[in-house]
Amino acid sequence: DADVTQTPRNRITKTGKRIMLECSQTKGHDRMYWYRQDPGLGLRLIYYSFDVKDINKGEISDGYSVSRQAQAKFSLSLESAIPNQTALYFCATSGGTGYWTEAFFGQGTRLTVV
């Protein structure tokens, strides 16, 4: 089983619909992240969380919200989906203390908003 699991893997939704992407991890990491990938733009940070009570906005948080339900679970919501939110979404985790730690990514959720 994957250490970082995202559901669903693919989703097509209509403009204006609310949608939730879920992420769970078995690595025991405190830190979790949501990134968005668009062709040629790399990965851009949407939200991040250092522990259950900590939520922070990333570079492109407008139109998104998150919930850290438990140490192992971090969900991303699009309250009212729009077509330019069509992208590949990745959840990632990192753990440990200190200056830097390695980020582990899920397999991604491909979201299409029509």
Whether a cis peptide bond, with omega within 30° of 0, leads into 39 is: no
Three-point CA angle 28, 103, 81, nearest 5° = 95
Q: Closest distance between other proteins and the C-beta of residue 58, in Å?
A: 7
Binding flag, residue 21, other proteins (CB under 8 A): no
- Site string (33-72) toward other proteins, x via CB under 8 A: x-x----xxxxxx--x-x-----x-xx-------------
Interface with other proteins (CB under 8 A), residue from 1, 62, 70, 99: 99
Q: Are 44 and 34 within 8 A, CB to CB? A: no
Binding flag, residue 1, other proteins (CB under 8 A): no
Binding flag, residue 5, other proteins (CB under 8 A): no
CA 23 to CA 5: how far, in whole Å?
6
CA 61 to CA 45: how far, in whole Å?
8
Residue written as token pair 């919200």: 65
List interacting residues with other proteins (CB under 8 A).
4, 31, 33, 35, 40-45, 48, 50, 56, 58-59, 90, 92, 94, 99-103, 105-108
